[in-house]
Structure 1
Amino acid sequence: MINKIIIDNFMAHEHTELELGPGVTILTGSNNTGKSAVVEALRCLATNPARSPNPALYIRHGAKEARVEVEVDDGTRVAWVRTKRWAKYELWPPGADEPEEYHKLQGKVPEDVARALRLDRVELETRKDSVDVHLGNQRDPVFLLNQPDSVMAEFFAASTESAHLLAMQNALKIRVRDAKREEKGLDGQVARIAADLDRLDPLPELALRMDGIEELDREAARLEREVPALEAALAEFLSLDGRLARERSTGAALHGIQAPPEVEDVNRLGRHIGAMASVETQLGRAGSAAGALTGLDAPPRTEDAAPLHRLIRELDDTGAILRSASSRRTVLAGLSELPDPADTGELAAVVDELLILRARSARLARLTESLGHVAEPPAPQPLDKLGEVVSLISGLKEQFSTRQAELDGLERDLSAVVAAMDERIKAVGCCPVCGGDLTTDGFLDHGCGHES
């Protein structure tokens, strides 16, 4: 009994494995799902059909071979492999690691394979075709269910022992007849072989003659290999002989002629000739160029490209500024809105007061530095020089008043500049470079953290 069926690249099946249980197994399904292909695969395994119909019909499209394998209840595995040119069987006995392969089947099933499968067809005495009692098609069910009663009766009669003995006797007669026919054929074949052997009696003498011929052939080949060398030596000898004759005739013709004059150095002449040839080549090229340029208009007047260059540079700078602004805008797009500015009036007043104190401190430092160079007051002098001192002091007071007026003007200017700067910083609100908080005091102290 078959326990497992494995089908690879057979008709519509790419790879199908069927585990069969004990008893009857029924395949059901819609049309064109491969049910009949399973039955056909088992039939090919059991009968090894010949090349008609075309074996390519069994092989799935795109594959090189079809394979049908079954495993029976005793552990034996049998596989049928079909290509477009040949078929073979593989048989694994129980427990075997490597299969036994059967080739050159000539449309038959090996006896070992048939014995393992036990799917033989039944031969009937009155029918030419055997009966398949194991497999059947959809319209040709198994076990003669669509055959006449006489055929079924003959089948059951063939299954009895007497009918089986008669069938064995008929088979034995057929085998004896075939054996006698084969014996006659073999006798005729032996006679033909003996006649062929008689015709081969002169072979030893022919073999001796062939050995001599082969020796002569080797000698001829050796001489043939030496002929080109002899021909080359003869040609060289003839060439040298002719050259010697020409030399002798030349020597006889030159006999009595004066010696040739001394050869002068012609390197300068060669350089001069080369220079002339180069000049002639350049003249030819110039003439060709002049002929080609005769019909052309005069080149247009060149314009000053400096403004265009400046415009292009300005456009490049503007494009760079726009790209930078676009990238900065892209970076700032994800930032949150600026917080509402707080009231900085009191802070501005404190900053102004600090600035004034800083200016006064700087002025006091300058005054201290100026007074540090002043000498000690002179010793009292006679009163006649007091007038001169008084007039000098009066001049100094006037100078001090003038300098004090200038200093007050500078302080007013500084206060105006600080006020204008404070208004400008309040309008800006934050540092345009880093986006941090910006105050007048912080800007004047350290430029909002940036190097000035």
Structure 2
Amino acid sequence: MIKKIIIDNFMAHEHTELELGSGLTILTGGNNTGKSAVVEALRCLATNPVPSHNIRHGAKEARVCVELDDGTRVVWVRKKRSSGYELWKPGAEEPEEYWKFGRTPPDDIRAALRLDLVELESGDPVDIHVGNQREPVFLLNKPASNAAAFFAASTESAHLLAMQNLLKRQTTDAKRQARDLEGQVERIEGVIDRLAPLPDIELQVSAARELEKSAIVFEKTIPALESVLEKHLGLVATLHEKSECRAALDVIVEPPKINDVKSLSDMIQSMETVEKRLSKAVNGINALKGLGQPDVLEDTGKLATLVRSLDSVQNTLWKTEVQTACFEKIEPLPLLEKTSDLSAFIDELLSVQYRYSRVTRWDNVLQKIVEPPPVESTDALNDTLSAMHNLTSRITSATEGMSDLQNRLKELEETVEERINELGCCPTCGGKMTTATFIDQRCRHDS
């Protein structure tokens, strides 16, 4: 038993909810208020009719939901290209969805609604649940034979006759479906013929991919060539710099030889020692000149000390005389000249030695450097660059062609998807069929 009806975006109803009582429910109202739309919504829920203008203007889909007395909810969803059902069982968090099941509602939906038509031996099936707007209650405007067939539908013979009629109708329907399928096959073959350019498109895509691979190889080769050219230019610059250094060093003359000054240094040191001793001797002589006659000897301790001192002074004087005699033979010291020029010369000499050692190291390094390779002609590189420019233009044109082909492929996919949505399933085997599987693998029937 239906307790509640909810209608969304169906014909004139944007959102309508109807609570049904336990007895008889009557809908009243003026014209064009949506009474017939409620009845039509129940009919669509029960029979899933062929597509018509049921979706409210501006909406993407229409929904008709009924809530049964056991808590079950059945929802009929009508989209622009397909229709389906949602079955919400009591306590379920997610619905069971039914799509692409053909024209007849699924058995689970029919079992939940219990709004099936009654099949008669003669005449069309009778709807005992939903009536038409301008017709009386069922069978009142029908021949008596229909009423008799309806009330006799519960007997065994009626069931046999109904089964026989059903078999006849199924045979007729099968023939009609066969004719429809032949027409669908012709239409599908026409669609497949429209998809005939796909192999050429695939070949063009493969050629574009090969061109792309060639371009990638050239892109990887160019950095290596640039690195080799950069190294070559660096070696040429280094060789030019070394050549200039060597030309500058060739102008430098050999430095003069430095005489050994050790003997002169020893002589100067000896003269300083002699000068000190001579100064001490003169001081001693000057001290002795002031001495008078010695006094009476009384205590000889001091005299002994003085004698020892005199002996020491005498020895010193003797040594001084000897040294003086030696000094008289020594020629006078030469006058010391200014050493600023010598100092500058020594600094320049040290700088030259440093530069010489540095040039020697450079020469050792340069001797290990191999001769630079001869500069080859750049014609091959220019040909490569020309080929790359040609490949770039070809890649650009191929990319534009690929874009056009992708747009054409997208249009074909939309056409195929629209046709598949109209069919719902494979017309040959009844299996599930999608756009991706149809284009990539075709719908095969090996079994």
What TM-score do you get using the length of structure 2 for normalisation?
A: 0.39
Task: Report 1 or 2 for greater relative contact order, CA contacts < 8 Å, sequence distance ≥ 6.
Answer: 2
